[in-house]
Structure 1
């Protein structure tokens, strides 16, 4: 390969893309604006920094997130093995120590001889082959350049992150260790139980608290999986008790019964010195976060290591602005990651891998990668690039996007198991058939 590919953004998608291309013998110029220009949500200059939750979602083999992880590993994904090496206990989910993970990704990228890292803000689309993986916090200048090129209206939605508290500030006489239904027979979460009167008082305080962006949001303004907890609370008094604070599967050891509601805390690192409040993405001001969240039993003296934040994310209307490979028509540029509207950490990694495959295919004059639509990733790509898609909104992988089974069983669990089996079978066949895309990765820099 005598050409260099510019990859803009060293987040999950950009880091995966750069490593995949470099492993195929392609020289990469990886642009990262941090620390020259910091985004509203990032805290470090490391690559693949997780700005919201530290969870990469479920590993259950019969669920769509679990199927996606299997598909990525079958395709030789670079970041998932790093995530597993940096994992922290999280029941049936893959959660990581975010500092160890981002540092490990950074070290891996910097050590690769075919990747040149340039710390600068990119304001224009590069002239040659490139992948824009600038994320949903893409700078205004670059996003305007993209919008001008695709000629389609841009869209935006609001995203939020949850606060993190110090482990030593949690009252262990109240908070107890337990996973719902004791998944995996270990208590990977801390639980702060609420009685009915405590829940009612907390809800009143939450709904009356001062917000950073002081307005009620329309549903289309918010990405459904990351709605601020106070916005969820506005939908009904019991909305949290049946959502993020559901006590199902938990038993308070102090009472021997299920609490009225429960706030779950998930470890941020292997040392369990910090915990994030699961589902507590928020738009509250920092003083109000201290006041309201310290009303949670067990968090009365909580020390906040990081407050929750809310920020505007931008993405393009991919079904009508990009081709089936997420390329800007008539150019040598592809988009990858959340800027395409594919939402989720693992989905971002997946889009970086796919962008690398198709960019490599262009350079090597090979057919593009056409993923089986029966799989988690293939069905998401089909949805996100289908011009018939209307009112395009950010989307996670889910079985609702997958073509239905013939003669499907009536039980949902049986249907999902068969869908997962079909997805794995079809992806394995795809990888074998497209050895021209994957064998080159095994040769790596030996080329």
Structure 2
């Protein structure tokens, strides 16, 4: 028997930890690429503003990495404390990707430290920029390995089950499961996209607050261009994710799309509410679900009528899917209009109201990331290891989870507020204009 309260509180605490960690983890994966691009453009164009962009972004990045380490450690701790039965069953399978994730992080951290403290020790900036390659690779592969663990939970393979135990484990086969390609690609692409839009949001905010310096304009142009590229990539990968779900997790796709009955030429349901078992006030796009699932407008799509009631995911993930997709589409549109407006010299893309839309793009991108992860995790329910172990059977029976929830929630409040305060003071006390003047003075003195 399991304690329903312990299961519920364990799920709440895990979701709280993941929701907080994903913000810093996303920044940790995406910002190294942005730093590398800024320094590369600065070297190529011999432009001190892009070099300074890389320098200032790196300082802020170090703070987010520090918080990410704490929250990442909390996740590892909670896996053992809150989900001991899952770890007992699958621990020897996921040990390798968890170890590789730790190795990738240390690889990143070592070179980040060298990069950060050797800014003025390289006469040739190209050699200094080379240090960013292992930083960016380490950050990306950190996301790759941890996402492999999540993918395994959705599509477990690489073992045999004998008397309730996982034996004959092949960790490589377990890591390269059917869910891995689309999950890993989507996580990495959306991390790059979100990081770009967060940095664009900051640049637009500084321009709105009266700092009309060309530094912020260059930051905005670079980040919006990168954001556009990766938001389009995320949308394309999302299409492949839909096809993966149709083949391997049809119950999750059906729940997300409110597709209740198996049928051909299935329409896509957007928005709406469920009332007396019927969908009302929804926007219905004919044939779109069949196209999403099978690239065929007449293809049959499996509905929820094919699954036992106790194995159907919560239907609330429909709204999470809608939120994620529409924010993604909005960011593609916003970034596309911005870049077309820059090329065509449209005045409105420099207007205050348009820049406020860009400022809102940063928080919206974070919300889309959160919605996507909630959909992925809640949409796997009632399974923690799909088809093998249910969430209720994996959780701890301890009656101390409520205390843990309070303590960890307090920790996240302190970390969240602390990181914002430190970052704000760091850049407010050292504005771009002053730093440029100091660097010019140093060069003049030399």
- Scaled by the length of structure 2, what TM-score is found? 0.24
Q: Which has the higher contact order (CA 8 A, sep 6+)?
A: 1
Give the structure with the higher percent helix: 2
- Scaled by the length of structure 1, what TM-score is found? 0.24
Which structure has the larger Rg? Answer: 2
Give the structure with the higher percent strand: 1
